[in-house]
Homo-oligomer: A and B are copies of this chain.
Amino acid sequence: MSIVEAPLHRRVTEELRARIGSGEWPVGMQLPSEAALCREFGTSRGPVRQALATLRAEGVVVGGRGRAPVVGRFVPSQSFSTFTSFTEWARSIGKAPGQRTLELAKRPATSVVAGLLRLGEGGAVIDVLRVRSLDGVPTMVERASFILEVGLHLADFDCDSGSLHAHLTSRGIDLRRARHTIDAVAANRLDAEVLGIATGSPLLRERRLTCDGAGRPLCVAEDRYRPELANFAIENEVDRRTPLTRADPTHDRSAHP
């Protein structure tokens, strides 16, 4: 073994951490046996045990002591079971949320944004561009456009200080419903620069239209996440409703004619 190489147990640790961090080994997965890991890394039990102990100490691996170790929470997942802010979500997973505001501007809406927010021709919006972090690591670029009535509440708010969502809610803004569209996008130059990644890297994108209780659009936003730092998780069950459609006027989402 060359003198410049990291100790074996550290290389095993980093390799296992990378597999878990990338999601290749997802939360809840039972780890291969120590014997299998020894074979894979061509090592004795010592380094493997040391690596597992390190990861267990970090909570990346849980269990063990009689029970087989499994992958713990590592790449934090956001759920859509409730509608929460990045700040609330970060706290819920034990991470410190952070934000740096790159721009707060009032300007005429683009035609796309004007259409989404149902603004008239040349209507203005308040645009906010921020980079959001988890434990100080830049994780997401947030681009939001608010209708004036909502965005004006940001004039006296330090957007670096925390949650816009909490601030606006405290001002009585009814951020009630959202429609999220999720896809993937290549990092542009700005994304790459503020997230510290290469241009063209795949980012997880969430576009969001937020409305009040009456269905009035208040904000359109686009969040771009580094996929190795945050993902989305959804659990569902096979639809147990009968194939016969049951008209239910209270569920206006089932808007099929």
Q: Could you tell me which A residues sit within 8 Å of B by CB distance?
A: 3-4, 6-7, 10-11, 14-15, 19, 23-26, 28-33, 36, 40, 50, 53, 56-57, 59, 64-65, 70-71, 75, 77, 80-84, 111-112, 114-116, 118, 121, 175-186, 200-205, 207, 209, 220, 225, 227, 231-239, 241, 247-249, 252-253, 255-257
A235 to B33 Cα, complex, angstroms: 41
- Given A23-B207, A227-B184, A255-B6, is A30 in contact with B236 using a C-beta cutoff of 8 Å? no
A223 to B36 Cα, complex, angstroms: 28
A227:B36 contact, CB within 8 angstroms: no
How close is A15's CB to chain B, nearest CB, in angstroms? 7
- Given A3-B249, A183-B204, A227-B185, is A24 in contact with B236 using a C-beta cutoff of 8 Å? no
- Given A77-B181, A234-B182, is A84 in contact with B11 using a C-beta cutoff of 8 Å? no
Q: Given the complex, which residues of B lie within 8 Å of A257, measured CB to CB?
A: 6, 11, 14-15
Q: Given the complex, which residues of B lie within 8 Å of A84, measured CB to CB?
A: 239
Report the nearest B residue to A252, measured CB to CB: B6
